């Protein structure tokens, strides 16, 4: 069986943790001032890509309970949106929808990568 990366060596765990920490840090770092609303709402593509990258290693490795891991990521993104107004950021449910879409996209890409690697 061909493998894109060795999924048993902890690669997926380490890469997932790095992406999760980066998303959290970037999402909760305080802004000196709030951006204009039209600028703030134009970042949905960033959310989509970030959460797709978060889901990709998990979906590719597909460890036991991977659906629970994805549910945790979705809950985590919701908590970030709730906390953001306290760090001078916008908390938007549209961001969470983009995050959920990214998780779905990353999961589909990971499933495709698994199929192609077999």
Reported as a single tens digit per residue, the pLDDT across 48-66 is 999 999 999 999 988 788 8
Residues, the chain, total?
Answer: 118
The whole-chain average pLDDT of the chain stands at 87
Residue 69 phi, psi (nearest 5): -65, -45
Q: What is the spatial distance between Cα 89 and Cα 13, in angstroms, rounded to a whole number?
A: 29
Domain membership of residue 3 (yes or no) is no
Residues with Cβ within 8 Å of 48's Cβ and at least 6 positions away in sequence, in order, are 98, 99, 101, 102, 105
Domain with 95, as residue range(s), is 11-117
Domain membership of residue 5 (yes or no) is no
Whether residue 5 is predicted with pLDDT greater than 80 in this model: the reply is no
Q: Are 54 and 19 in contact (CB under 8 A)?
A: yes
Domain membership of residue 1 (yes or no) is no
Whether residue 39 is predicted with pLDDT greater than 70 in this model: the reply is no
pTM of the model: 0.86
Domain membership of residue 47 (yes or no) is yes
Domain membership of residue 4 (yes or no) is no
**Total number of domains constituting the chain:** 1
Q: pLDDT grade, residue 1 (50/70/90)?
A: very low
10 Å Cβ neighbour count for 70? 20
Domain membership of residue 46 (yes or no) is yes
Domain membership of residue 40 (yes or no) is yes
């Amino acid at each position: 069986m061909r493998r894109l990366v060795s999924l048993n060596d902890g690669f997926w765990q380490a890469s997932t943790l790095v992406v999760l920490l980066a998303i959290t840090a970037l999402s909760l770092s305080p802004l000196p001032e709030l951006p204009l609303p039209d600028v703030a709402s134009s970042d949905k593509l960033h959310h989509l890509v970030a959460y797709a990258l978060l889901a990709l290693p998990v979906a590719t490795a597909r460890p036991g309970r991977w659906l629970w891991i994805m549910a945790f990521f979705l809950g985590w993104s919701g908590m970030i949106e709730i906390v953001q107004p306290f760090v001078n950021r916008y908390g938007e449910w549209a961001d969470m929808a983009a995050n959920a879409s990214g998780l779905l996209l990353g999961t589909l890409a990971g499933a495709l990568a698994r199929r192609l690697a077999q």
